[in-house]
Structures are given as structure tokens and as C-alpha cells.
Amino acid sequence: MKITRRKWRYQLCAGFLIMCILFTFSLLLPVDTIHHSILSQYVSSKVTRSLFPRFEANAVYHLLNHSKPFIDFPGTIPPVLDESGYFVGKVIIDPVEFGEDQARENPEILTGKNGMRNKSTKRAMRAKSAEDLIDIIDSKISQIPLLVDALPAPGPDDLNLADDFLQIHQALKPPPKKETPVQVLIVTNRRSGSSFMGQILNQNPKVFFNFEPLKLLEKKPGVYANQSAFLNLLLKCKFKQMPFMMEFYNKERLHRCGSLALTSPPLCTLGTPVNSSNVRQCDKLHPSFTASVCARYTHVAAKLIRVYNISSLQDLLMAENLNVKILHLVRDPRGILLSRSKAEKRNLEVGESLDQEAGYLCRRMKSNVDLGNSHPQWLNDHYKRVRYEDVAYEPERWAKEIYKFAGLGSVPPEVLLWIRTNTQGRLRSMDSYSTSRNSKETAEAWRYNITLPVAERISHICKDVMSQLNYKQVDNLKMLHDMTQSLVK
């Protein structure tokens, strides 16, 4: 008996090891390839038979011919995910090869008169992704208690083995999400410090971050009804239902490398740190696989500079199965306009062009500030306005404020490490005063590069919104250049 039990334990360990290796290997393979089909069939036949040599032929047959032995999602059908992000699949018969009605009326098409599965059926019903493979294994392991009960005389060893496998089954699946999923949108203007702000979310390992996805709507106008409808799909990870989304991320280097989730395993298996120059060496994104990976993250976030008016997102905030939080990021318009001119390598001078640019920017800012100040019911508890300068002065404190508002829990160590590593204060010392002071210098560095007439003209055009946001006016050059006196109240 001891020898038999020891043999079973060896078989159990060997089988578990094989499964782990296959899981790991399958995640490294390109999606939608024949490799996954071969892999899934190997697991469902060779491995299963080796793990259950003592079971009767009928028991093995039923295990190998469970109701979901091979799963196929045709190109027009998106993957179905449950709340935990697992595939919820069913056998889909190839309508070209079999015909759904015919197969439903004639089960022999699937198994044949002799009870054996037809070869053509195997070709039509293949697992096309690593998620399908996991689903297959889940379904087979879950049938173990039924198989043991079906044995003529199950012994203690059989029952112990079934117990062991069920424990393995639970260990393979990640624990259910304990936190309430949140979708966070950073809504701001170009050159408002949104890249720094975005990293506070992007560096969180629980957040699937999207970098400027709305640019796709400019490249493909008319494909989506509006921004709200597009974001509804994005925040629910429904990439299979989003035309051109994966093509956009695969081609736009900046937009892909701006997301840690899109440039990390399993979506990118590049061995070196990803940046804009080598991001094209990442694996190409595929809708089904990306949707599955996205669903395994607790939260989804996006940085947006193309939302003119936050009121256009009302339908999104009222949508079912979403818990959207809006972070409205604002910045001193003088700093925004100077930063834009430097990025575009042009001079910022008083004139009609400056009046138009400053007028458009500040009308847009004021519209959203007024909306936030009016406190409409649909925006209650879903909106927080944040000044870039405040975050730059005290990034750790404001990271905690942002996480508290959004319901993201405590700030993870990965985010705190990024903040401490990427502030200029680390060049002098790591004390909080130095970090805060140097962040302040960075946020208001525009004051050294802007002329007094330009600063005064922008202040005149934008005086209303600057007053609402507590940005100080400047009267003379000395006040403009005196960095000991902040222009932020």
C-alpha cells in the first residue's frame, strides 16, 4: 500500500509539474497559432491519461470528452469573460464544416457511432489561446469528484488523489478580487503635467493604464458613436469589440510604451526595459488575449487630453457596471502655453496668435472648472480637481489624496518608489523638503523663459479662470523671476 501511495504521489507531482510548464510555455507563444491547439490536445490526452492510469476506460473516455474538450472562438465572436476575468466558453461547432442545426440534431457528428471523437471535429474545435487552455484544464479537474464517484469501488488512494487535485485546482486560480473595480480618467489639457500625473496610476501593478487612447478617434473618425461610447468599451476591456484599437497600439510607439501593462508580460515578453525605440519588438497585441489580460487587472485607467467638456462624459459616469472617477488636472495657463511653444520649437510672442491660443485654452478650462463648481448630481463623488503644481510640490501626499478619492486603497510601494526616484530632489537628498522644493522649481520653471509682456497678456485673457484656480498675477519682472515667491496661492 505504501509503495502504491508513493507511486501516486510521484505521478501527482510529475503531472502538476508538466501542467505548470505547459501553462508557462503557452503564455510565451503567439496567440491564435496552431501551437496552442497542439498544446491543448496534448494536455487533454497524454497528460490526463498518464495521471489516471487506474481509471476504467469509460472514466478516461468521459474525462477526455467533457462538454468543453476543445474551444474555438470564431473571429466575429468576442471572448466571454466572467467577473473574475476567466473565459466562460462553450463548444462552438464550425458552421462551415458541420452546420449548427445538423450537429444539434445529430450528436453522432461529434462522437461518431463508435463513441470516438471524429478527427474533423478536433480540427474544428481547437483552443486558440492560453486562456482557452486554462479553461480546459479547469473544466477537467472540476470533473474529478464525479469520476471518482463513478468508479466501481473507489479506494482511499482514489479519494486522496481527488482531494490533492482539487487543492491544486484552487492554487492555480488567483484569488478573487477583493477590491471594488474602479475606472479612473485623467482629464486635462496638453502640456499640463499629465505624464507625471499618469505615472501615479501607471506604476500601480493593479491598474491597466491606457495612454491617450482617444487619438484613435482622430485617426478613424466615424467608427465610434462618440467619446463616451468608445471609453465605455475601453474601460470594460472589450477590445474585441473595438475596431482598430489593437492596430493603433501596435503602430503608435508612444501610446503603447506609455502603458506599463501593454509593455509587460504576458503582452510583451521583451527581455529588456521597454522604451519608444524598441517597443516594436514587443509581441503584437491581439484583441482576445489583450482583453483577457486586461480583465485580470483590478482597475483600468486612461489619460485623456482630447475631452473638451467633461459634461460630454455624463452617459459614461451613469453607465451600469462602471465606477468611473474623474481626475480633472489643471495647470497655470502661462506654464501650459510656454511649455507648448518650447515643445513645438517656436517663440511665444504677444499678438493675434497668442490671443487665439490663450482664449481657446482658458475658455475650455473655465467651462470644466465651472462644471465642477456647480456640483451636478451625476458628478457627485466622481469628480476631483487637482492642480499640477500641488502634485509637483508634494507628490507623495497628493498620491495618497488621489488614491483615497478614487477608492484605490493605499498607495503601493511601486508608486512611491517611482515618485522618489523620478523627482530632482534625489540629486541632493531624499528628505521631504528637498523633494518638495525641487518639484516646485520644475513646476514653475517656465517663469525663467517667458517674457513679462507675454505673461501679462495671458493673465489678462485668462484672468477669470486664473482667479478661480488661485494663480497669482505678476506686475513686474522682479516678481516674475523671484522663485522664493510662488505664483500659486
pLDDT of residue 315: 94
Q: Which residue has the higher pLDDT, 29 or 442?
A: 442
pLDDT confidence of residue 276: 86
Report pLDDT digits (tens) over 281-326.
998 999 999 999 999 999 999 999 999 999 999 999 999 899 999 9
pLDDT at 422: 84
- Report which of residues 70 and 102 the model is more confident about: 102
- Does residue 201 register a pLDDT over 60? yes
The predicted pLDDT at position 135 comes to: 53
Amino acid at 200: I
Residue 273 sits at the vertex; the CA angle it makes with 271 and 275, to the nearest 5 degrees, is 125
Confidence of residue 346 (pLDDT cuts 50, 70, 90): very high
Residue 270's pLDDT band, with cuts at 50, 70 and 90, is: confident
What's the mean pLDDT when you consider all of the chain?
A: 75
d(Cα 96, Cα 275) in Å, to the nearest integer?
44
- 29 and 36 Cβ atoms separated by less than 8 Å: yes
Is residue 232 packed enough to be buried (19+ CB in 10 Å), middle (13-18) or exposed (0-12)? buried
How far lies 457's CA from each of 121, 446, 447, 454, in Å?
74, 15, 14, 5
Average pLDDT for 250-274: 91
Q: What is the mean pLDDT of residues 451-456?
A: 96
| Residue 3's pLDDT band (cuts 50, 70, 90) | low
Residue with more model confidence, 154 or 419:
419
Whole-number Å distance between alpha carbons of 456 and 286: 51
pLDDT band at 11 (very low <50, low <70, confident <90, very high): low
Residue 94 has pLDDT above 60, yes or no: no
Q: What is the pLDDT of residues 156-169, one digit of tens each?
A: 665 666 555 555 55
pLDDT at residue 442 in the model: 77
CA dist 88 and 481 (Å) reads 62
Q: Has residue 131 got a pLDDT over 80? A: no
Lowest-confidence region among 82-86, 130-134, 165-169, 250-254: 82-86
Tens-place pLDDT, residues 21-40: 555 555 544 444 433 444 44
